[in-house]
Structure 1
């Protein structure tokens, strides 16, 4: 089953979800209400190639924790994503064992093509 990892309180995520085809059967995973498991993050990493690809450098905690001035490893990225949902770049779609990360226009076009 195709899945979307999102944040229910995020306006951008809500807008994207509204734009999805109604007939497509997604499993919706609100990462704030139901934190990501180690198995889920490891599957995402396997599909994306790295934890860094899943990590949001736009997160307010990234700035407030001064992480931009630290040299982070893959283990650090994984640890931070598991510790706090805000570090996951959102939304994350897994469609037919392909991963689509983030809300860029190009990424959303690829998601829509994958749903056809």
Structure 2
């Protein structure tokens, strides 16, 4: 199980505490593989972009108009976190419902 996020993100830390066998992949340092990002985009669409983030607010209108996958590739911290990949499934965010679903699979 891989958790794509940031090591200093509180929500990612909560997910890591609840899933001790998972591995954190820091998107700032390592990015997200294109196949994982593509699968996540198919599942979540535009919801994958955190439009409340500091990174989003710093973008120009031209940058915001880019293709979503290109934008996330260029600015991986724009992705809502955490993105959890387990087998062929992906989960976005962390709450009680997602925690129960992920734990039921593992």
Give the TM-score taking structure 2 as reference length: 0.76
In the alignment, the residues of structure 2 paired with residue 32 and residue 15 of structure 1 have an alpha-carbon distance, to the nearest angstrom, of: 18
In the alignment, the residues of structure 2 paired with residue 110 and residue 76 of structure 1 have an alpha-carbon distance, to the nearest angstrom, of: 30
In the alignment, the residues of structure 2 paired with residue 95 and residue 60 of structure 1 have an alpha-carbon distance, to the nearest angstrom, of: 28
Cα displacement (A) at 1:40: 3.1
- What SS is found at the alignment partner of 1:32? helix
| Aligned residue in 1 for 2:10 | 11
| Aligned residue in 2 for 1:106 | 97
Give the TM-score taking structure 1 as reference length: 0.71
CA displacement 1:14-65 (0-9 Å, x = unmatched): 1220122x3x4x343111111223333223334x153x13221221122233
Aligned pair count reads 104
| Aligned residue in 2 for 1:34 | 30
Segments of 4+ moved more than 6 angstroms: none
Greater share of helix: 2
Computed over aligned residues only, the root mean square deviation of the Cα atoms, in angstroms, reads: 2.4
